[in-house]
Chain A
Amino acid sequence: MKLLTHNMLTSNIIKGVTKGFPLGIQVSKLEEKSVDFNPDFVARMIPKIDWSALKQAASDVGKGDEIPADIVPQYEQNEDFLKKAHHVLMEIEVIEGELVCPESGRKFPVSNGIPNMLLNEDEV
């Protein structure tokens, strides 16, 4: 699971959970996979994602230092920023671990890079 994917996941499917975002990450295995840098693509992703959630996710997996706390002005032209964002969004993958609902504490296992977001019948 890339952190960009993590940025889209929520646990608001649980009964009683309203926002369920961002999910906390408890990681036991992390991998870094090289992905071709496409500045245009990253620049177009920035407004779609929740930056503070990305920053928190990066911190959760021990990579909090690799991106700034806020989106820099005129980031479209800032290759250094886009490269950092690219690395954190696209190249860091959670392989084993758990995603934690911020409201209920419910944990969703991540195994072989695949989050299991299924709920039990009584949670829906």
Chain B
Amino acid sequence: MADSGKESKKGQRKVEKKLSKLRQNLKEKEEILHSDFPTLVLCVCNGGLDNSVTYSEILELFGGSEIKCDVIMIPQKSYCFVSYDSINMSEEACKRLNGSKLAPTESRKNEVILYTLFVKEVPKGISPSNVLPPGLILLTDIISDKYAAEIMESVNFDAEENSVSQQLKHRRVKHYGYEFKYSINNVDPDEPLNDRIPVIFKHLLEKLLEKKTIKFYPDQLTVNQYQPGQGIPPHVDTPSAFEDGLVSLSLGSQVVMEFRHPDGRHLSVLLPPRSALIMTGESRYTWSHGITPRKSDIVTLPNGRLTLIPRGVRTSFTFRKITGIKPTVQVSEQHTPNIPCDESTAVELEKLHVNKVYEEIADHFSGTRHTPWPNIVGFLNEQPDSSMLADIGCGNGKYLGINKTLYEVGSDRSFNLAQIVQSRNYQVYVGDVLAIPLRENMFDVCLCIAVIHHLSTEDRRQRAVAELLKILRVGGKALIYVWAMEQELNKVKSKYLKKNKNNESADTNTDDKNNATGYHGNTDVNSKAFELDNVTDCKENAEKTDEESNSDNVCNIGDKIDEVLNTDKENIDICDNEIEAGNSSENTNPNMSQKLHVHVNRTQFQQQDLLVPWQLKNGKSSKTRNENTFHRFYHVFTKGELETLCIKAGNCRILKSYYDQGNWAVVLEKL
């Protein structure tokens, strides 16, 4: 390519520099580990669909008629993978093609420079692992080809029988025994269907029962048929509706199923044709499962080689035993209360989904709260000696005792947390943020960390701020932290934030108006008060934010957002036009009967009011029931909402407001 040796050397250095940057990026952002030694798989940077590079271009360049290779293109990525049968071949291709250029095409305006790297590990979501979530049983070749063919014949989707069959957005579905109603994510035990589970499955189910793989003979069957490119969103099967031990028989094509734990663990499990997957215990109650809509799966062959297997039509048979519990009785993953619209329902909701939960999880919660946040410590340490401090909602007292020159009183709504504070020799009382039993105009400093987002109406949140101001003396300061709707602000520029925000709105079906106005309406207010804090030090901090719960719930979701963004471009464009709308952070719901969603871990918030699961560890075995998952109510704040709330609450001014690790924070001064 280059004319002289000197230039070639210069070019080489440039390529090297570029490569080292790419390695870092791939590792950090894409979970792709490169290898210094040749491997069978190459990652071709810039050779991906996102750069308008096509499968056939890469195949021709890296393989051709002589060399055999597989090309794995991944939707919305700027890279692709090429895998070879031998190291010699991959080494040759890597040398030959690193730094090579692809000329512009009709769909590609500029030329593309390809960089090649050997790959040690591909991202978890792309290639299935050998490790299974606890409680998950995978039985391969559970039935013969002949038996499989007979089953497929008996369940004929094309011939409409009496059974309930419907075409969902993502797949075709048919029910036996009881209809699974997607509107309520439940079955009605009083409404059995005429069609029971066909006898053809008796042999399989009895075998599983005999082997004690399952404890109950199922009485409900849902048949799903997935075309290539179809999937199912991550979910946990309604705990109250079905017993432990869900059986899923896969026929037709293989598929990769994604399992996610609330703490952020993610495992991809390859379901080969004619396999049965049995979800029990933790894998049934705690891990969500879903199928990413894709047209192919990347599979590791026994020799360690990655290969691409296109998906065909897959039919899954999910056998479940219903519990007989009538729907609407229990709060489950899918059956949740409404967003409260008045004081009494708000009180009831918070009793159940805040106060009770903290009592139950107090010990475990406290065990996950060790490291104070640097910005809060900084605030405490800058207070003058002998200042009087009230820490309202002090939890386990993590911020007490940091500045030993202060006189501090902590309070919490939870008796069990207050006991922990007391045992650490701090002053504490049990009390409510909405009725602070402290003398007015008394305190120099007030902390209220991760409390106000547990209040379920705007009126209650505003009254809470007013209570804090009540106990402060004039000139006294309050530091307030709440969980942010925006979880990617620190890493990325405001442009990204805007996209991020729009994505949330676009991604939500029923409450997008809410979110859009709640956020956009505030941009003016914020731009003055907003001050992006230096959060890099905090990053080193092993502990996550108070309200990231016991898990990675909200961390590292940037890439995911990116993916969703790309699929939702149309919606985003629509939302861009709404930026000027609204002028208040008031999120009063126009839709009074709006359901509270259960937050799915590692996903973007779908609404501002939501239930966040807390997985209790070291509790009773979760094998029998879903007793160890608790749902806490949160109202996550959009940018500027906290400032607006404080100003509305009364006599104060905002000294500082900032974003800190997924939380919005303000320092107030009482006027």
Contact = CB atoms under 8 A, between A and B. Distances in A.
Contact of B405 (A2, A11, A41): A41
Interface string B397-430: 0000000010101010101001100100001111
Contact of A119 (B390, B432, B443): B432
A8 B405 CA distance: 18
Contacts of A117: 411, 429-432, 435, 437
Interface string A61-84: 000000000000000000000000
Contact of B435 (A5, A116, A124): A124
B442 A1 contact: no
B386 A41 contact: yes
A8 B436 CA distance: 11
Contacts of B418: 114
A24 to B, nearest CB: 14
A9 B438 contact: yes
Contact of B419 (A4, A114, A119): A114
A119 B435 contact: yes
A40 B384 CA distance: 13
Contacts of A11: 437
Max chain A Cβ within 10 angstroms of own Cβ: one of B385, B427, B432, B438: B427
A10 B385 contact: no
A78 to B, nearest CB: 18
A2 B438 contact: no
Contacts of A40: 385-386
A10 B427 contact: no
Contacts of A119: 432, 435
Contacts of A13: 435-437
B390 to A, nearest CB: 8
B113 interface: no
Instruction: Describe B's contact surface by its main secondary structure.
Output: mixed
A10 B452 CA distance: 22
Interface string A1-35: 11011001111110000001100000000000000
B388 interface: yes
B430 A8 contact: no
A14 B385 CA distance: 33
A102 to B, nearest CB: 13
Contacts of A9: 429, 437-439
Given A41-B385, A114-B422, A118-B431, A5 B409 contact: yes
A96 to B, nearest CB: 13
B59 interface: no
Contact of B439 (A10, A45, A124): A10
Contacts of B434: 124
B347 interface: yes
B438 A115 contact: no
Given A40-B386, A41-B386, A112-B419, A2 B427 contact: yes
A57 B487 CA distance: 49
Given A8-B442, A11-B437, A21-B439, A114 B429 contact: yes
Interface in B423-468: 427-432, 434-440, 442-443
Contacts of B437: 9-13, 20, 117
B573 to A, nearest CB: 48
Contacts of B440: 10, 12
A117 B432 CA distance: 8
Nearest to A44: B386
B435 A8 contact: no
A115 B407 contact: no
A55 to B, nearest CB: 17
B386 A1 contact: no
A48 B409 contact: no
A115 B429 contact: yes
Contact of B385 (A5, A12, A20, A44): A44
Max chain B Cβ within 10 angstroms of own Cβ: one of A8, A11, A112: A8
Max chain A Cβ within 10 angstroms of own Cβ: one of B405, B418, B437: B437
A114 B439 CA distance: 18
Contacts of A21: 439
A118 B414 CA distance: 10
Contacts of A48: 388, 442
B428 A114 contact: yes
Interface in A99-124: 112-119, 121, 124
Given A40-B385, A41-B405, A114-B428, A8 B439 contact: yes
Contacts of B411: 117
A117 B434 CA distance: 12
Contacts of A113: 422
B347 A118 contact: no
A2 B410 CA distance: 13
A8 to B, nearest CB: 5
Contacts of B405: 41
A71 to B, nearest CB: 16
Contact of A115 (B347, B430, B439): B430
A119 B429 CA distance: 13
Nearest to A109: B430
Contacts of A1: 427, 429
A56 B439 CA distance: 17
A52 B438 CA distance: 17
B422 A112 contact: yes
Contacts of A20: 437
Nearest to B351: A121
Contact of B386 (A45, A112, A116): A45
Contact of A10 (B422, B428, B430, B438): B438
B582 to A, nearest CB: 33
Which 9 pairs show the lowest CB-CB distances between chains A and B?
A44-B386, A13-B435, A117-B437, A117-B431, A115-B429, A116-B430, A5-B427, A13-B437, A10-B439
Given A4-B407, A13-B436, A115-B430, 5 more contacts: A8-B438, A11-B437, A48-B442, A117-B435, A118-B413
